[in-house]
Amino acid sequence: MTLFPESASARAGWRLLLAWLLLNALLLTPEPPWAGFPPRHWLALEAPLLLGLLLLMPASRLRQWACAGVALIGLSIALGALGDGLMQAMQGRSINLYTDLSLLPILIELLVANLGLALTLAVTCALGLALFAVGWALSALLAASHRPRLPRGLGVALLAFGAGGLALQHAGRLEATRIGSPALGFVTFEWQRAMETRHALAAFGGQLENDPGARALPGLAGVDVVLGFIESYGVAAIEREPFADEIRPRLARMESELAASGLSMVTGRVTASTLGGQSWLNHATLLSGLPITSQLRFELMLNRHRSTLVDDFSASAHRTLAVMPGIIRDWPEGRQLGYDEIHTADSLGYRGPPMGWASMPDQFTWKRVGDYLDAASASATGASSHATFVELATLSSHAPWSPVITLVDWDSVGDGQVFSRWAGAGDDYASLWQNTEAMRAHYAPAIDYALQAAAGFAERQVGEHTLMLILGDHQAAPSIIGPHPGRDVPLHVISGDPALLAGFLHNGFRPGALPPGPEAAIPMSQIRALLHRIYAAPPALSRPDAARGS
């Protein structure tokens, strides 16, 4: 006696087998091929469990909806696993569906900026059609595999196999086998993480309520403070090959050139809130003094009007500026942070060509910051009036790091037309996203240029009345710098007045351009408190008037 004696039953049996294989493949996606080969599991216990339930249902409209529901479950698991894989590659962490779904609009904007609207639409449509085709095929196969063409006992057997397997797995009896439940594990992990995140956000709300308010920094009265974030500049650029071969000599030259200009430099190690992206979360972390690790935390911080370093410098009689060349549209978040002036891509006066993904090169951005400081200095009427706090975020070292250009004469920067010699040089940036090796080759040269531009600014602008802090916003993606890079970034502090740097040396920083080891790392959320410890009191003696630099 054969299992499927009639041809209709045989066809139904083959459809069931195909449905099982397809559903099994979807449910195994939480263990992708790049996680290790051979994969840990070959058989997902959820598949026979779901198939058994469907086979026990009589043919009806309800069963058709159930078949579609099972297909949707498989697709949802696969989509979640795809998102998890992308997050692992870009930011070195698992996806958190509770917080990361809010990043979808930002992801779409990033795709449009890098691939163009047409290609983004094409990729999105292709992915959507592929998912629809897989879902439709699975739903159709499941709908065609039903009783009476298949014996009821088969459904009972599949259900028993799936349920029994899950029971054995729970008892630890399947550890040495290729049978498991990765989809159920993925869903359970995400649910538990969502609950933990929900509780953590509630606790974070309590932290926001405990706001110390704006506090002046008397030790920086009359001192211009420049806080510059260098895109994708992490300690991996200094400590990992092949990047260190280019960056360590650059830092050595930077240290000696600044010393020749009469400037002192100390360097610390700071642990950022993110890895591989989401720069604005690290900006907010440093400004607020709180760990802003997700978009939800960022929005909570803004909505609760948490005081920040911007408020602290306002209380210290500083004029506060934000220079953000990467902002290409209205920026309500900047207004919520309370800067006196906000300069974005449209208001910086750049008339040169775009530099690939970046709207303008770093040298132009730094030159504009110098112009703003010079203008404020020229309008000063007292020894301690018109001090300025500037926060800026550079772009030239943003992935995919094309084009890599060289510095021009600072006096020729003007409105940026001098950079026209590189017009079109970075037009390949969209294709570079598909070539990890090419991106990796461009990474160190881009960081080298970013450091040159920052050092050039320091030589021209930093004096005894200036404190300059340069730090990475986050490490580059693990797919570029290698697995498990950590989240540490360098923080260089530069001034023409060594007394302004002394407090950093008592808090784990060391002289020169190289950061200390991991044991000396300071969370980025503690930098605000560190500045208050160091500059809580005015200097013992008035500093002599000094030019900021020519």
pLDDT tens digits along 120-162: 788 788 888 887 888 787 777 777 666 555 566 777 887 777 7
CA dist., res. 257 & res. 255, Å (int): 6
Q: Quick: pLDDT tens for 240-285.
A: 999 999 999 999 999 999 999 999 999 999 999 998 888 999 999 9
CA dist., res. 250 & res. 176, Å (int): 51
Pairing of β 264-271 and β 510-511: antiparallel
| Cβ-proximal residues to 265 (8 Å cutoff; 6+ apart), any chain | 255, 258, 259, 492, 493, 494, 501, 511, 512, 513
Beta-bridge partners for 511? 266
CA dist., res. 235 & res. 548, Å (int): 30
Pairing of β 224-230 and β 387-393: parallel
Q: Quick: pLDDT tens for 283-334.
A: 999 999 999 988 888 888 888 888 899 999 999 999 999 999 998 888 888 8
Mean pLDDT of 424-442: 77
Percent of the chain with pLDDT over 90: 41
Of the pLDDT bands very low, low, confident and very high (cuts 50, 70, 90), residue 369 is very high
Total-model pTM: 0.73
Angle 524-525-531 from CA coordinates, rounded to 5°: 85
The CATH topology of domain 215-414+443-534 is Alkaline Phosphatase, subunit A (3.40.720)
Burial of 506 (0-12, 13-18, 19+ CB in 10 A): exposed
Q: CA nearest 110: which of 280, 285, 364?
A: 280
Q: Of 187 and 8, which is predicted with more confidence? A: 187
Structure tokens at 403: 């084009």
Pick from 140-149, 345-354, 421-430: least confident: 140-149
CA dist., res. 291 & res. 285, Å (int): 5
Q: CA nearest 344: which of 374, 322, 364?
A: 322
Angle 515-519-521 from CA coordinates, rounded to 5°: 55
Half-sphere exposure of 197 (CA within 13 A, CB side): 18
167-171, 246-250, 401-405, 420-424, range with greatest mean pLDDT = 246-250
Domain ranges within the chain, ordered by starting residue? 7-198, 215-414+443-534
State which amino acid sits at residue 380.
A
Of the pLDDT bands very low, low, confident and very high (cuts 50, 70, 90), residue 464 is very high
